[in-house]
Amino acid sequence: MKAVLLQGNEACAKGALAAGCRFYAGYPITPSSEIMEVMAREVPRLGGVFIQMEDESASLGAVIGASLAGVKSMTATSGPGFSVMQEHIGFACMTEVPCVIVDVMRGGPSTGLATQPSQADVMQARWGTHGDHPIIVLAPSSVQECFELTAKAFNLAERYRTPVIVITDAIVGQMREEVTLPEADMEIEVRPQPTVPPEEFVPYDDPGNCVPAMPAFGDGYRYHVTGLYHDVHGFPTTQSGEIDFLIRRLFSKICQASQHLQWFDSWYENSETMVIAYGCVARSALRAVREVREKGLDVGLTKLKVLWPFMDATISGVLDNCRRVLVPEMNFGQISREVERVNQGRCEILTLNKVDGTALTPPEIVRKLEEIHS
């Protein structure tokens, strides 16, 4: 293990490279551009491909094309660009093409706040593209986690054949911290490969775990890829049975993944009041929790590293063992509503929402916790 000083965005890029990413297509946007700049420098040195595209839609299109040709691929952006990418996120979900998208959140809507943080893209990451679709979204809250979760995003994308979104924010993306990078090669996963000869290959059948094998273009398995509903052979269909089979398999795939995606950190579990936070707010929350505990308040913290699929099992466990929950967020309450959904009246759910383009600070969370306990 070696310790280095890195910026969050740089760590995302390094995590991607460590996981085997060798194709980057992107379009510059604040506050994510450093990811692109690091990739522009490093990817060619590793013999991979870096290309600056004409917009974010083109970027994700090229990423999906490269992934279909067998290369681990990614792009990064921020709110306005994330909006432009939504069409192709849906395409990657429907065609089950592994890829990673980093969204460094800034204030919105629209051009919003180019240089200031927010957590307002949480629901967009879940539902931004049209139509019912499953998605995996990871949320780092430190530079170390930017590295680790981006690397893991590639493994999940490959294992489940799905786009994976890493959602950070202008604070986590721009800050510098000491990071410990794994010296030896980390565990790296690759997409499942066919075990039958091309003439027997059925590209979109369910092999039992809902994740069909994915040969690359040029490997001798010629098949059709389309964003239309398709039958097991990949050809467009309007048959209700085939439509139902496909969409249910896509959802089952990520539902199964959800069992293995209960990733969180906890401090002072089973406290009377539990704070549930993610991203940059989890950092302020930890300091606030430590401060109020010194004053004798029984408060703990659960920090979420996976936002979607929502960790119902983890949250349910938290709710079973506390009296109330505080969900501080830099939006009008996007995760707090999910907590409410899981809660079903068990505990009191409180929110603390900051939407003015500045960080939710430890004193603000301390004040709220003291108010709750007064």
Partner 1 sequence: MKHEEHPMRKYLRPNKKMPTIWCSGCGIGIFVQSLVRAIDRIGYSKDDVVMVSGIGCSSRIPIYLDFNTLHTTHGRALTFATGVKLARPHLKVITIMGDGDAVAIGGNHLIHAAKRNVEISAFVINNHVYGMTGGQCSPTTPYGLKTTTSPYGNREAAFDVARVVEAAGAAFVGRATVYHTPLLDRLTEAALRKKGFAMVEVIAQCVTYSGRWMGLASPAEMMTWQRDNSVRVERAKEMSETELAGKMVIGVLTDRERPTYNEEYNELLAEESKV
- Interface residue list for partner 1 (CB under 8 A): 23, 25, 44-45, 47, 49, 51, 53-55, 57-71, 73, 87-88, 91, 216-220, 222-228, 233, 235-236
Please state the closest distance from residue 23 (CB atom) to partner 1, in A.
6
Q: Which two tokens stand for residue 290?
A: 């430590």
Q: How far is CA 283 from CA 13, 276, 300, in A?
A: 22, 11, 13
- Inter-axis angle of helices 336-343 and 312-320, nearest 10: 70
CB of 128 to partner 1, least distance (A): 15
Q: Report the nearest approach of partner 1 to the CB of residue 150 (Å).
A: 20
Nearer to partner 1, 63 or 101 (CB): 63
Four-residue CA torsion sign, 230, 232, 233, 234 = positive
**Helix, coil or strand: residue 319:** helix
Cβ distance to partner 1 smaller for residue 72 or 126: 72
Task: Pick between residue 61 and residue 362 the one whose CB is nearest to partner 1.
Answer: 61
Q: Where are the alpha helices (DSSP H) in 19-142?
A: 33-45, 56-68, 79-95, 122-127
Looking at the Cβ atoms of 64 and 136, the one nearer to partner 1 is 64
| Smaller CB separation from partner 1, 109 or 220 | 220
The owner of tokens 């009008």 is: 332
The arrangement of strands across the sheet holding 264-267 comes to 264-267, 299-304, 273-277, 324-329, 348-353
Kindly tell me the sign of the dihedral angle through the C-alpha atoms of 302, 303, 307, 309: negative
Q: Mark residue 84 as left, alpha or beta (left: phi above 0; alpha: psi -120 to 50; beta: remaining).
A: alpha
Specify the amino acid at residue 182: P
Give whichever of 86 and 302 is closer to partner 1, judged by the CB atom.
86
Closest to 79 measured CA to CA, from 46, 106, 60 = 106
**Shortest spacing between CB 54 and partner 1, in angstroms:** 4
Minimal distance, residue 236 CB to partner 1, in Å: 7
Residue 189 Cβ, how far from partner 1 at the closest point, in Å? 19
Of 84 and 299, CB closest to partner 1? 84
The nearest distance, CB 217 to partner 1, in angstroms, is 4
The answer to whether the peptide bond before residue 31 is cis (omega within 30 degrees of 0) is yes
